[in-house]
Amino acid sequence: MTVLSGNGGTGKGSLAAYWASQLTQAGKLVLVIDSEGHPDEWYERVRANDGRLDGIVHATHSGGLLQLELLQGYAAGMLGLVIVDSAGYFTDQEGDRWGPGAATTMQTALAATGVPSLVLAHQAKAGEGDSAYGSVYWHNVPRARYSLRREDDGSRVLTCRKATGLQGISEGDSWTVQATTVDGVPAIDGLLPRGLLVTRTAREVGQELLAAEWLTTQQLAIRAGGSSTSWWRWVRELGCATREVHTGAKPATEYSLLGVG
């Protein structure tokens, strides 16, 4: 079991969908056990990464004990990956979501399938954010554990927190992944990153956009990743030209590097 954790909006789902897409391109099926009820989001992300939609099996799960009866309908070798989204919905036999039993119960169920598994987990919002749900149990149970965080400049950094017996990967290894998509990022066995390419940060993507057109900070946030508040600070630091546009009840400010410098 591999765990990928991070706060909301860091790109866990996008990265997982990219890895899933690679497997579908290789002719494998990927089972998405979705407790957050977002089938359209999964399919759209796979489509955006040129994955095969017929290779994605989406299963809605209400949470509680992890049920894997769906796996019984597939022959050995057909499934390349099981994705669980997300860990916080699942419990142990006593219904506890927060103790170590929740993680060990999930790991036992997934390990019995013999299929590689990727579990998405939200990090605690307090402290350094290295633990899911404020507990340390995710540190010890998974065979591999990664955290994904968003830096102040909008870039995403993927860090290996645990790597038990993974060739070529050590705890502490980190890579930069693109903010809005993960195109061009290779994978090991269709699941774990190794030798990741350092791709453009959100800020670099935004600079390219601003060099060619006028955009509001909200438009930048949508197209280049990060929050509109961050982009407001960055465009001021970049010395962008500004102009007021009157397309609604309230004027909006657009920014651009056209003609600057």
Tell me if 192 sits within 8 A of 173, measured CB to CB. Answer: no
Phi, psi of 73 (to 5 degrees): -85, 5
| Domain-embedded: residue 37 | yes
| Domain-embedded: residue 207 | yes
- Which residue range forms the structural domain that includes residue 97? 2-199
Domain boundary among 174, 199, 224: 199
Per residue of the chain (261 residues), give pLDDT as tens: 888 888 777 778 888 888 888 888 888 899 999 998 888 888 888 887 788 888 998 898 999 999 888 777 777 678 889 999 999 899 999 998 877 888 889 989 998 888 889 999 887 655 455 555 555 556 677 778 888 887 777 677 888 888 776 666 778 877 777 533 334 443 333 333 433 333 445 566 678 889 989 998 888 877 765 566 667 777 887 889 999 998 777 889 999 999 886
Please state whether beta strands 117-122 and 79-85 pair in parallel, antiparallel, or not at all (unpaired).
parallel
The reply to whether 184 and 224 lie within a common domain is no
The reply to whether 191 and 68 lie within a common domain is yes
The reply to whether 59 and 145 lie within a common domain is yes
What's the burial of 95, exposed, middle or buried (CB within 10 Å: 0-12/13-18/19+)? exposed
Cβ atoms within 10 Å, residue 157? 16
Give me the residues paired with residue 158 across strands.
Answer: 148, 175
Token readout for 129 is 């954010």
Q: Report CA 64 to chain centroid distance, whole Å.
A: 23
CA angle 235, 125, 87 (to 5 degrees): 115
| Domain-embedded: residue 189 | yes
Domain boundary among 199, 223, 241: 199
The reply to whether 104 and 230 lie within a common domain is no
The reply to whether 117 and 103 lie within a common domain is yes
| Domain-embedded: residue 261 | no
Contacts of 41 (CB under 8 A, 6+ apart): 13
- Cis status of the peptide bond prior to 86, with omega within 30 of 0: yes
Domain count, the chain: 2
The reply to whether 34 and 64 lie within a common domain is yes
The upper half-sphere exposure of residue 103, i.e. CA atoms within 13 Å in the direction of its Cβ, equals 23
The reply to whether 174 and 251 lie within a common domain is no
Please state, in angstroms and rounded to a whole number, the distance separating the CA atoms of residues 156 and 175: 8
Query: The tokens 């699942």 sit on which residue?
Result: 90
| Domain-embedded: residue 181 | yes
| Domain-embedded: residue 90 | yes
Token readout for 175 is 């890579």
Query: The tokens 């095969």 sit on which residue?
Result: 52
pTM: 0.67
Contacts of 147 (CB under 8 A, 6+ apart): 4, 5, 6, 123, 129, 130, 158, 159, 161
Q: How confident is the model at residue 173, as a pLDDT?
A: 78
Q: How far is CA 202 from CA 87, 95, 234, 255, in A?
A: 28, 41, 11, 16
The reply to whether 127 and 225 lie within a common domain is no
The reply to whether 118 and 11 lie within a common domain is yes
